[in-house]
Amino acid sequence: MKKIIKKHLLLIAISALGLGYNVNAQAKYNVSSSKNNDMKLSGTSTLHNWTMDAKTFAGAAQFGLTPGNNAQLTAIKSLAFSLIVENLKSGENGLDKNAYKALKTGQYKNIVYTLTSAKVLPGKDNKYLVKTRGNLVIAGVTKVVTMDVYCIVNKDATITCNGSDKINMSDYNVKPPSFMLGAMKTGNAITLDFTLVYAK
């Protein structure tokens, strides 16, 4: 009798674990080829503001979702992206060349971000605010960054993540580049903005 009871309890436990897994199913995603993907570095200079823009980068993520057609985001287990620095373009060759030199692309070709923790706050209309913490690597230097990321679970099951972070180049041992024999000097503070579309 005791053996039968134990077997029933074991089956109940296994069923409960299975149900918990289904309610919070995890799915693996990669950065899609969406035209909405975008990443920008922007800043100031003694002459004018500047922006460098890239549309091509790689990345992967693991999202926790409730099952069904109207899936809800419950967690982000992992997220990462990598950008080839020389994919960033400003439309000004001189600015690009000096920026690549300052960012030491001869040694460090990529800007890399890796999520270390995330807290998903309840949202409406499949839009969520996620409090994140992660490691950002620029010019071979790693810094911990915290930022608010906004995620949308789209009708086609893709997930769009938007974020922005203000950083100082000097924190990454990057000397703000200058141009025109020093007549144009860039500021130390820059802003990283991104829109990433992840798909299964």
- pLDDT at residue 195 above 90? yes
Domain that holds residue 134: 26-199
- How open is the CA angle 190-151-129, to the nearest 5 degrees? 85
SS3 at position 36: coil
pLDDT tens-digit series, residues 24-77: 567 899 999 889 999 999 988 777 788 999 998 899 999 999 887 667 899 999
- pLDDT at residue 16 above 50? no
Residue 141 is given by DSSP the state: E
pLDDT tens-digit series, residues 91-101: 888 888 988 99
Residue 89 is given by DSSP the state: B
pLDDT computed for residue 179 by the predictor: 60
- pLDDT at residue 90 above 50? yes
Query: Domain count of the chain?
Result: 1
Whether residue 138 lies inside any domain: the answer is yes
Token code pair at residue 174: 């990057």
- pLDDT at residue 182 above 70? no
Token code pair at residue 77: 């287990």
Whether residue 5 lies inside any domain: the answer is no
Stretch 154-182: mean pLDDT, rounded? 85
Kindly report the average pLDDT of the chain as a whole number: 84
Whether residue 3 lies inside any domain: the answer is no
Whether residue 18 lies inside any domain: the answer is no
Backbone phi, psi, residue 21, to 5°? -65, -45
pLDDT computed for residue 183 by the predictor: 55
Q: To the nearest whole percent, how much of the chain has pLDDT over 90? A: 60
Token code pair at residue 23: 């309610």
pLDDT computed for residue 178 by the predictor: 66
Whether residue 15 lies inside any domain: the answer is no
Token code pair at residue 25: 């199913």
What sign does the CA torsion over 36, 158, 72, 61 have?
negative
Strand ranges, E, within 14-98: 25-31, 38-45, 50-54, 58-65, 73-84
Whether residue 135 lies inside any domain: the answer is yes
State in Å, rounded, how far the first CA of the chain is from the last one.
Answer: 48
pLDDT computed for residue 187 by the predictor: 83
Give me the CATH number covering residue 132.
2.40.128.110
pLDDT computed for residue 68 by the predictor: 72
- pLDDT at residue 6 above 90? no
Whether residue 8 lies inside any domain: the answer is no
130 near 121, Cβ under 8 Å? yes
pLDDT computed for residue 11 by the predictor: 43
pLDDT computed for residue 8 by the predictor: 46
Q: Is the pTM of this model over 0.75?
A: yes
Partners of 2 in the β-ladder: none
pLDDT computed for residue 62 by the predictor: 96
d(CA 72, CA 195): 20
Whether residue 160 lies inside any domain: the answer is yes
Token code pair at residue 121: 């706050």
